Amino acid sequence: NAGVTQTPKFRVLKTGQSMTLLCAQDMNHEYMYWYRQDPGMGLRLIHYSVGEGTTAKGEVPDGYNVSRLKKQNFLLGLESAAPSQTSVYFCASSYDTRTGTSGSNSYEQYFGPGTRLTVT
Amino acid sequence: GQSLEQPSEVTAVEGAIVQINCTYQTSGFYGLSWYQQHDGGAPTFLSYNALDGLEETGRFSSFLSRSDSYGYLLLQELQMKDSASYFCAVRGTGGGNKLTFGTGTQLKVEL
């Protein structure tokens, strides 16, 4: 099992350019998430999805769009990149906690290795 | 919404015990998680507390007091490899198993 994978690992964009970050998971998880991590600010939720075809806004959604066309993939798009979007982006996935759980590990979010994005 | 507070840095010596505290304010609370992150790495899950009390997993233990909106992570027999950032995170009641993370505590283990 590869777990959660992210593409690309690094990217440099110029202001105004667009790009898509791809997240894939092979654990058959219902829930998926996109976070950004900035120095001294921890992880902040951008968007999330509770199943194929669904998306919802998190804490910091402005400037980003997402799509979940297949259960195993969650895409994060930047339509017009800004320097304020320079950050490390993490994707995560987890079980559907509504269907009953056994043990605290059921609430675990599994993180990908991250994408380091610089916008100049 | 939620807000969490944890110390920014903690230093301890190898073999010692260290406690990282986390206080939270939240409009809806299901439980408190802890994650570890090494420099340049991804966060990895350590523990989850939904009920008051202590949960022990090897050298790591996590405690929760819902009435005090407080929790802590206890690391025993510290090793150099424990040098990392530790995040507490509230699992809220808004659905989706969403987490709100604290700003993290950087633990430095010295010889």
According to the model, what pLDDT value does residue A119 have? 98
Q: For residue A13, name the pLDDT band (cuts at 50, 70, 90).
A: very high
Interchain contact, A107 vs B41, CB within 8 Å: no
In contact, B30 and B42? CB cutoff 8 Å = no
Q: Say yes or no to pLDDT of A102 above 60.
A: no
Look over chain B and give the mean of its residue pLDDT values, rounded to a whole number. 95
CA of B2: which chain A residue's CA is closest?
A59
For B38-60, write each residue's pLDDT tens digit.
999 999 999 999 999 999 989 99
Higher-scoring residue by pLDDT: B97, B102: B102
Contact B48 A108 (CB under 8 A): yes
pLDDT the model gives residue A107: 85
**B45–A105: do the CB atoms touch at under 8 Å?**
yes
A104·B100 Cβ contact <8 A:
no
In this prediction, residues A44-58 reach a mean pLDDT of 96
Distance from CA of A79 to the nearest CA of B (A): 25
Q: What is the mean pLDDT of residues B69-85?
A: 98
Q: Which residue of B has its CA nearest to A104?
A: B48
pLDDT range class, residue B93, cuts 50, 70, 90: confident
pLDDT tier for residue A40 given thresholds of 50, 70 and 90: confident
Whether the predicted pLDDT of A105 surpasses 70: no
Q: State the nearest Cα–Cα gap between B14 and chain A, in angstroms.
A: 25
For residue A103, pLDDT over 60 is answered with: no
Q: Which residue of A has its CA nearest to B90?
A: A107
Check residue A109 and report its DSSP letter. P
- Omega before residue B7 within 30° of 0, cis: no
The pLDDT value given to residue B28: 86
Nearest-by-Cβ selection for B103 from A41, A112, A113? A41
Amino acid A17: pLDDT: 98
pLDDT at A98: 65
